[in-house]
Structure 1
């Protein structure tokens, strides 16, 4: 923030009007009068204006300024690592300065084992990583060891009391933060209509939704977000702008399409509720929404990410992709193009569960940034969003 310098005004005293009579001459004095301390100094002797030091840069800016292009690009990648053997991807994470690690798979390891493994991953990072996990509950729960009790599904928790939902979420988040996880890829903010129910493969079939009424889902999201984040684990609203009406799972098939969603879709209410509650991140789906953008899936859509999420809804946090590695929905696009198209559309962090994608994705992002100034600015903006999220997670240390 710039500060203006106050400029002292010089006031001229004793000016005569042209019509005033001349003043009488003063009586002679035997001694010259002492100079007045209020008399103005000659301009040549005026003291210089006091210098004002610029304000110190904030921690995010300081960190960003210390990163070269390759390191900034690295912040835009979240790479999948095996939850039971995360060190196997350590070389990839270090080589490409990766900003986040996603613990993929399922684990029954103890909290002590997991904490040691995650600490080992963080040791090699110049900038501490976001460490993410899918710990929704129900059928989507990565950690199921003795220190991680089975969580009820959102479908079961949604109709229950807000107190139970809050306490369940808070207890789970405390277990996660205790081992070094700082980002949960949850909650699911999708609404599945009763008329579709389990006929919705990605959400309804696994009972991952909080309900069939977007207003009730929004109420649940308003409870979950602060309960998790106040306990130390940031939340990710998924899968924007909604997967509740599709009839195809983007993980295993192409052609997932929501022909209903518009900018005024009531099914976006849970996402807006989560954003208003302060959710750190929003995940973008890989389905198509022809009424929002007839040309591209949501993950590659500037009208959806920038136009709708950023500008119309006003979200200024971290925008992360759904998996752009193994997901069948994007296999028609090369890994390099998946990364550049997502970032160009307004995304910040590219998630891939395929560790070998780091090389082509990082290379493509660097090459495009070196030849396209507007894209370079977009990379810098995305890196800033990642670092702001890390600051919110307590990962940045300055001074």
Structure 2
């Protein structure tokens, strides 16, 4: 036995003797107990404690991220008073200062029964919700990709810091879609607006992983999108039907950026509303257990899965509003994103009705609510 090990053994014996009521020297006739004390169960996390006290309606609310206008989010949230939503998406464009946005977000949080996930689209370039004093200008992903990775990390930390200061808890970015070289103009949702980090999936993976890490180190939850990729489609799901990617498969190199984000413990992954025949020929991705199973099982993602916007998207116009939420959650989506606030009540009702009639679906709702709360706890939003 080493001297260190001997000292540790002697110290342990001394502690045991003291606990047994014996002197370190000249112990009396009492003997130390030989049985092992039962192990104390782990104390429930804050998320678990919170989930345990939520009724079904409140659990359902955690699964909804509803749009409110960034120009007046307080009034938009007040109109949702009958639906206890878990998240808000501030949509539109704002020239308000950091101080003004900070005050508005503080009012939102003060009015909420539980802390809200407050999200914006702050990718950069053409997609930057907050543009007022204090937020600066964020370049497009294509421009960001030209920076050496250490510079990209430093720049992302600065951009995310502006959001953190304003109380924004989640950025719906970065974009992890790879657009093949020469096909940018034929790719209306991504390539036409320079939203991609490049045409080489390994290069995109390096940039996406860097951005995710830097953003989350500042305290803003990142959301990579649009799984399993919109870089090859020739239709914008927001404005038309029929967006299809016939090339993406379970071993596609274009999955690498999403895998890199998962490796960096990205908070959330947004699933697209396009169709991927090699993965599931019959369902849009956000309604597909096969697509979400690929994300969970093959890529190992255990965080929050968010749908692409199910509100004004023309690709979903043939599906009733309530069914959009139910079908997405049944497939494995945790948070249903909808820019249209008038959809909040019918979606909440449809989810609650299905859960009330189907115990297995009720378990799905509870599982997803638990993930949402755990994410809020992870980033310091939920405390007990």
Q: Which of the residues 155, 162, 166 maps onto 1:168?
A: 155
Specify the alignment match of 1:343 in structure 2.
329
| Distance in structure 2 (CA, Å) of the matches to 1:162 and 1:216 | 10
Match of 1:217 in 2: 204
State the SS of the aligned residue for 1:230. Answer: helix
Instruction: Give the deviation of 1:109 after TM superposition.
Output: 0.5
Match of 1:12?
Answer: none
Structure 2 residue aligned with 1:129, among 99, 116, 120?
116
Residue 120 (str. 1) matches residue 107 (str. 2): yes
Contact 1:159 1:211 in 2 (8 A): no
Q: In 2, Cα distance between the equivalents of 1:113 and 1:257?
A: 41
Quick check: 336-345 or 153-162, which moved more? 153-162
Which whole-Å CA distance do the structure 1 matches of 2:223 and 2:134 have between them?
23
Secondary structure at 2:301 match in 1: coil
SS in 2 for 1:314: coil
User: C-alpha displacement at 1:94, in angstroms?
Assistant: 3.6
User: Aligned to 1:283, which of 254, 270, 274?
Assistant: 270
Instruction: Structure 2: give runs of 5+ residues left out of the alignment.
Output: 1-28
Where do 1:100-249 residues align within 5 Å?
A: 100-249=87-236
Secondary structure, aligned partner of 2:138: coil
Matches of 1:159 and 1:201, distance apart in 2: 22
Name the structure 2 match of 1:321. Answer: 307
TM-fit CA distance, 1:123: 1.0
Distance (whole Å) between structure 2 residues aligned to residue 111 and residue 57 of structure 1: 36
2:240 is the counterpart of 1:262: no
Q: Which residue of 2 aligns with 1:380?
A: 366
Give the Cα–Cα distance (whole angstroms) in 2 for the partners of residues 135 and 71 of structure 1.
Answer: 29
Comparing 68-77 and 122-131, the one that deviates more: 122-131
SS of match in other structure, 2:66: strand
CA distance in 1, matches of 2:367, 2:280: 23
User: How has the CA–CA distance of structure 1 residues 371 and 154 changed in structure 2, closer, same or farther, with 3 Å as cutoff?
Assistant: same
Structure 1 stretch displaced more, 154-163 or 105-114: 154-163
Give 1:275 deviation, angstroms: 0.6
Deviation at 1:53, TM superposition (A): 5.3
Deviation at 1:315, TM superposition (A): 0.3
Partners of 1:298 and 1:357 in 2: CA distance: 21
* Structure 1 gaps, min length 5: 1-36, 40-47
Match of 2:19 in 1: none
Q: 1:169·1:224 contact (CA, 8 Å) conserved in 2?
A: yes
Counterpart position of 1:31: none
1:393 alignment partner in structure 2? 379
The counterpart of 1:309, out of the listed 261, 271, 295, is 295
Q: Residues 244-271 of structure 1, C-alpha deviation per residue, up to 9 Å, x if partnerless?
A: 0000000111100000010001000000
**Secondary structure of the structure 1 residue equivalent to 2:327:** helix
Shift of 1:389: 0.9
In 2: Cα distance, 1:64 partner to 1:207 partner: 41
Match of 1:365 among 347, 351, 359: 351
Structure 1 position 311, deviation (Å): 1.2
Q: 1:92/1:75 Cα in 2 relative to 1: closer, same or farther (>3 Å)?
A: farther
Q: In the alignment, which residue of structure 2 is the partner of 1:332?
A: 318
Is the partner of 1:95 in helix, strand or coil? coil
For 1:140 and 1:387, how far apart are their aligned partners in 2? 28
Deviation at 1:52, TM superposition (A): 6.3
Asked whether the 8 Å contact 1:285–1:321 carries over to 2, the reply is yes
Aligned residues: 355
Give, in whole Å, the separation in 2 of the partners of 1:142 and 1:341.
Answer: 29
8 Å contact from structure 1 (residues 92, 358) kept in 2: no
Structure ranking higher in helix proportion:
2
Report if aligned partners of 1:182, 1:232 keep a CA contact under 8 Å in 2: yes
Measured after TM superposition, the shift of residue 50 of structure 1 is: 6.7
Partners of 2:172 and 2:37 lie apart in 1 by 51
Structure 2 CA distance for aligned equivalents of residues 110 and 215 of structure 1: 37
- TM-score by length of structure 1 reads 0.86
Question: How far apart, CA to CA, are the structure 1 residues paired with 2:302 and 2:338?
Answer: 23
Q: CA separation of 1:55/1:194 partners in 2, compared to 1, >3 Å: closer, same or farther? A: closer
Contact map agreement 1:326 1:354 (CA 8 A) in 2: yes
Whether the 8 Å contact between 1:202 and 1:249 is mirrored in structure 2 is yes
